Amino acid sequence: MLNFLKKSEYVLGLNARNLSYLRPSNSRRALRIADNKLLAKRILSKAGLPVLETYGVISSYDDLKNFDWNNLPPTFVLKPNRGLGGEGIVIVYGRREKEPRPWVKANRKMVSIEDLRDHIRNILEGIYSLTGLPDAAFFEERVKLLKLLKPYSFRGIPDIRIIVYNSVPIIAEMRLPTEESGGKANLHLGGIGVGIDMGTGITTCSIQRDRLIEYVPGKRVPLRGIQIPDWQEVLRMAVYAQQATRIGFLGIDIAIDRDKGPVILELNVRPGLAIQIANQSPLKDRLQRIKGLKIKTISKGVKIAQDLFGGEIEEELEGISGRRVIGINEPIEILDANRNRHLTMAKIDTGAYRSTVCKNLAEKLGLNKVISRKKVKGALGAEERPIINLSFVMDKRLVSTETFIADRSEMKYDIIVGRKDLKRFLVDPAKNVFMKKPKIL
Amino acid sequence: MFFPIQYLINHGIPQETISLLLMIPIIATIIALSRQVIGIKGFGIYTPLIISFAFLSTGLKFGLMLFLAILLVGTLSRLVVKKLRLLYLPRMAIIVIIVTLTVIGAMYLGIYANRTEVITTSIFAILIMITLIEKFIAAQIEQGARGAIILTSETLILSIISFWVVNWSWLQDVVVQYPVWIIIFSLLTNLLLGRWTGLRLFEYYRFREVIKNVELPKKK
């Protein structure tokens, strides 16, 4: 029980979200931007970020009277500018050729110009707006569903919600529209929230109505293990959007269009907290680790997020396979003659059988006692190389082996680790790509 | 008795009025507390407060019946009026008209059945119930059926608790005897509540799986 209370301190609740994160970092200006979809779009597209095209804006009865309905494409989305929770949105998928040329909705119902006028009048009256104040309506390009995500979504478009704080993506989830949510991707209406591993962009746990689920409701389609395309790009866009809007704590909704790739759908200054359940990971802890960091570039923010908050998939893999997941460049500790540890970077080379260590390094560590010799055939011809005993610790595992020594003073890495010593590891070429060589010896 | 209060009473202001007024800080604090610490949302302070005061005049049982009847008629008429596709305010006005007519109808029914509550109920209680229908219908439009049901029942629970507190005769005496302490206590509690960043009681339940999965850092 005491443990439970202590652990609960890592979870972000509504009180703490509002008081500690929304208030200090989000000004009135921020609220104005995020609650006004058209303004947000203008700011984002000015910053060069991809947003959905606006076909037309109607902000008064005059606009409505003079609106040219013939300019609308056969498929579009009609939205209230200050709408909340996906209310008041009309989506049409095509237009009939026969007069009076109505549009067609997802449920095959017809929508005439007169219907749209009615709906727009309601929007102008402010029925769907946050505060009930008069609102504007606008027509927007419809996102085209990615084939990859088709089996997972009911009618609507899934989007990716990323919470960015202090230029670092903190947590991410994919929101899937369901039959229960009426084709909307909002969790409180019954949409599915799918946690995403920050490091790889692969989905992990899923929830519907705050409860963990494994499959798409009513289907045997597992929600785990979906690779979000363009993951790096999505993260970069989210960080850039936060910087461009200068909103300290921001939820960014990104959809992936079949043709255009990632586009920013919407900004949210009060992102919901169920995202913690979808990721089975507490937010407060993550936020505290990021607070006060000085992030200079977008890449840095993305990298920190991937390094700090990624790894769920890896842990799972390690759990199943009993092996450690390592990258192409991996820090390792070599044990010298006195069993002291010396840190260096190793190149993981699955093309080589036996590991090779630099002659100079081996001498320095007192490990140059040759136990045998072996001939190796390489591109440069056959060569006989000495073999020594060597022990090293890689990703917390001790490996005792026999390695070649060779002159590697001209090479970037002092040691190459070959297949013979990799049997207890899995190599992921996407991991640690940017890892810098630590200062050694 | 605290002198300024005595002064008001001596000049003809009923003690009941004063004790009701002094109940407002307590009710407001209870409502703030239930939101921030327990996690019961409801419709802000005004709605539960005014409903509990309405209950005072109607009695809890009759008040609840009246409230639920009005809510039911309001919701049903919304579903019917929805089909007419009208603008927001005229649509809401029609709902209020239907609800008003229902209440008048209920009066005939009450007289016929010889129920005295119908005759003695103050008009303000009925007015409050009828006008609040707008808030509940607006919630149905904004939050959908599920959200509206949750919000409405939370509001109702808060109203009933507030009613019990306001109706508590011991407390009615205490607030008149020690009004200064009541005010200071309410203000301090709210200052503390306003800085409270802990999890709400319901959130412990909501996030239980996440909490279970937290790995505490190992002590070195």
A240 contact partners, CB below 8 Å, separation of at least 6: A47, A49, A298
| Confidence (pLDDT) at B68 | 92
Chain A residues inside the 8 Å CB shell of B39? 14
| Least reliable range by pLDDT among A289-293, B1-5, B68-72 | B1-5
Mean per-residue pLDDT of chain A = 89
Q: What are phi and psi of B127, to 5 degrees?
A: -60, -45
Q: Where does the pLDDT of residue B96 fall: very low under 50, low under 70, confident under 90, or very high at 90 and above? A: very high
Fold of A323-427: Cathepsin D, subunit A; domain 1 (2.40.70)
Inter-chain CB proximity A10 and B211 less than 8 Å: yes
pLDDT given at position A22 = 86
Please name the residue of chain B whose CA is at the shortest distance from the CA of residue A212. Answer: B209
B210 closest CB neighbour out of A19, A121, A282: A282
**pLDDT for residue B220 is more than 80:** no
Q: How big is the A-B interface in CB pairs under 8 Å?
A: 80
- Torsion angle of alpha carbons A325, A327, A328, A334, nearest 10°? -80
Indicate the range of A78-87, A274-283, B69-78, B190-199 predicted with least confidence.
A78-87
Considering only CB atoms, which chain A residues are within 8 Å of B138? Answer: 132
Among candidates B72, B42, B49, which has minimal Cα distance to B137? B72
Highest mean pLDDT among A79-88, A223-232, A360-369: A223-232
The pLDDT value recorded for residue A89 is 87
A280 with B213: Cβ contact below 8 A: yes
Enumerate the domain spans of chain A: 2-30+145-312, 53-140, 323-427
Q: Is A277 within 8 Å of B207 when comparing Cβ atoms? A: yes
Hey, what amino acid is at A88? G
Contact (CB<8Å) B214/A125: no
pLDDT score at A440: 45
What share of chain A in percent tops pLDDT 70? 97
A2-30+145-312 and A323-427: same fold? Answer: no
Q: Among A207, A187, A205, A186, which residue's Cα sits nearest to residue A197?
A: A205
Distance CA B103, CA B72 (A): 12
Summarize the confidence of residues A315-321 as an average pLDDT. Answer: 78
By the 10 Å C-beta count (0-12 exposed, 13-18 middle, 19+ buried), A382 is classed as: exposed
pLDDT in tens, A333-382: 998 888 888 888 899 999 889 999 988 888 888 887 888 888 887 777 78
Confidence bin at A243 (pLDDT 50/70/90): very high
Match 């997972």 to its residue by tokens: A152
Whether A12 shows a pLDDT value over 60: the answer reads yes
pLDDT digit string, tens, across residues A124-147: 988 787 666 889 999 999 999 999
Residue A420: CB partners within 8 Å, gap ≥ 6?
A353, A354, A355, A401
Q: pLDDT grade, residue A242 (50/70/90)?
A: very high
pLDDT digits (tens, 9 = 90+) for B116-157: 777 777 888 889 988 889 888 888 877 778 888 999 999 999
Residue of A9, A15, A184, A207 best to disrupt the B interface, most CBs of B under 10 A? A15
Q: Give the mean pLDDT of A41-54.
A: 94
Is A245 in contact with A40 (CB distance < 8 Å)? Answer: yes
The CA distance from B54 to B76, in Å, is 23
Q: What are phi and psi of A316, to 5 degrees?
A: -65, -45
Tell me, yes or no, if A126 comes closer than 8 A to chain B by beta carbon: yes
User: Which of A72-76, A118-122, A373-377 bottoms out in mean pLDDT, i.e. has the lowest?
Assistant: A373-377
Enter the pTM of the model. Answer: 0.79
Which residue in chain A is spatially nearest to B195 when comparing CA positions?
A19
Q: Give the β-pairing of A103-105 and A110-111.
A: antiparallel
pLDDT at A383: 81
The pLDDT of residue A439 is: 46
Question: According to the model, what pLDDT value does residue A441 have?
Answer: 42
Instruction: Please report which confidence band the pLDDT of residue B185 belongs to, taking 50, 70 and 90 as the band edges.
Output: very high
Beta bridge partner(s), residue A376: A383
- Please name the residue of chain B whose CA is at the shortest distance from the CA of residue A121: B87
Q: Which CATH superfamily is domain A2-30+145-312 in?
A: ATP-grasp fold, B domain (3.30.470.20)
Cβ distance A173 to A277 under 8 Å?
no
Q: What's the whole-number average pLDDT of chain B?
A: 89
- Of all residues in chain A, the one with the smallest CA distance to B202 is A13
